[in-house]
């Protein structure tokens, strides 16, 4: 007895493309970029993201995003309130969950964001103990549960390599996925602007966050430049692992990204610096209700400390 061949699944239609552009239009106001120009490009200018969105839309499935970040708090006490999440992370997580809810208004199957916490990937290079990174990640998971942020999920090295020692996890990920230091240097020499800016930004963060160093300022700068290459190697390795584990997802980034990149840079909160994140700063709530990220040392001069559940949370302007 002959059976009918299964019908091929219809490909994306003009309606699917319109839905993808509507989703991207919701992201564009929060785009983190260093692009210069008087006009923000429209959704049609972001081909890599549209192509990633279309299969899930055509299948009537939720669209998925991955966002590497939320690693741990900076070890610099002039920047942050401690080693656990505070109001900055709470607001950032609420924003991301709300963005998924707004996407559901134009794509009823909805959206989800996998937060790919990368603290353990390079914690040894930035001087943060693995125990602090675990505590930060566990507190983020608790925050997601307590706030009812159903569109978010945290993913880290524990999900991939279980209970292996963290040094072994880092070694395995680096060996399998990291580019060589020479390859990164070659990209910068060849004019790769994204890699150059990333290298400079990470070098600056490492210099600011080094709590103690037995040497001269110039020696510290050399050390930070060397560690910056290591952080980028590990970050690229983590990105490759994320792509392997979540091949269908649209890749978001907390770093500025140029138009045409496979990654879409996204701002989590207002900040005076496009590189600033909740884990390198704290929140100042202005008297008009506006919330802004800034260094702890600056926020202390402008406001009073607010506690939440007995822990330092943010500052209120006075």
> Tens digit of pLDDT for each residue in 117-174?
999 999 999 999 999 999 999 999 999 999 999 999 999 999 999 999 999 999 999 9
Asked if 232 contacts 244 with a C-beta cutoff of 8 angstroms, the reply is no
Mean pLDDT of the chain: 92
Closest CA to 315 of 166, 306, 55, 31: 306
E-strand stretches of 63-167? 63-69, 111-117, 152-155
Residue percentage of the chain with pLDDT more than 70: 95
Q: Which two tokens stand for residue 141?
A: 């998971």
Query: What 3-state class would DSSP assign to 75?
Result: coil
**pLDDT above 60 for 3:** no
pLDDT of residue 12: 78
Asked whether residue 37 carries a pLDDT value surpassing 70, the answer given is no
Residue 311, classed as helix, strand or coil, is strand
Indicate whether this model's pTM tops 0.95. no
The pLDDT value given to residue 289: 93
Q: pLDDT at residue 2 above 70?
A: no
Confidence band for 241, pLDDT divided at 50, 70 and 90 = very high
Q: What is the pLDDT of residue 214?
A: 76
Q: For residue 268, give the nearest of 113, 123, 91, 63 by alpha carbon.
A: 91
Q: What is the pLDDT of residue 1?
A: 45
Mean pLDDT of all residues in 78-104: 97
């Amino acid at each position: 007895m002959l059976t009918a061949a299964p019908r091929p699944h219809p490909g994306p239609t003009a309606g699917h493309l319109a839905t993808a552009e509507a989703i991207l239009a919701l992201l564009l106001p929060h785009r983190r970029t260093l692009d210069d120009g008087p006009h923000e490009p429209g959704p049609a200018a972001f081909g890599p993201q549209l192509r990633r969105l279309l299969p899930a839309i055509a299948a009537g499935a939720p669209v998925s995003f991955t966002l590497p970040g939320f690693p741990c708090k900076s070890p610099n006490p002039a920047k942050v309130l401690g080693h656990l999440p505070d109001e900055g992370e709470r607001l950032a997580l609420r924003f991301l969950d709300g963005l998924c809810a707004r996407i559901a208004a134009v794509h009823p199957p909805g959206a989800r964001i996998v937060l790919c916490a990368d603290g353990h990937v390079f914690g040894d290079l930035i001087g943060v103990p693995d125990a602090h990174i675990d505590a930060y990640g566990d507190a983020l998971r608790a925050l997601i549960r307590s706030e009812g942020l159903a569109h978010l999920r945290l993913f880290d090295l524990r999900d991939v390599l279980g209970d292996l020692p963290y040094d072994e996890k880092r070694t395995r990920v680096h060996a399998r996925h990291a580019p060589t230091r020479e390859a990164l240097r070659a990209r910068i020499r060849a004019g790769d602007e994204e890699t150059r800016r990333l290298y400079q930004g990470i070098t600056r963060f490492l210099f600011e966050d080094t709590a103690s160093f037995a040497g001269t300022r110039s020696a510290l700068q050399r050390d930070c430049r060397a560690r910056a290459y290591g952080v980028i190697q590990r970050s690229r390795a983590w990105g490759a692992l994320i792509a392997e584990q979540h091949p269908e997802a649209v890749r978001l980034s907390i770093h500025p990204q140029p138009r045409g990149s496979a990654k879409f840079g996204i701002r989590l909160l207002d900040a005076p610096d496009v590189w600033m994140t909740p884990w390198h700063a704290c929140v100042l709530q202005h008297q008009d209700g506006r919330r802004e990220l800034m260094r702890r040392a600056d926020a202390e001069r402008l406001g009073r400390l607010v506690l939440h559940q007995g822990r330092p949370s943010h500052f209120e302007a006075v």
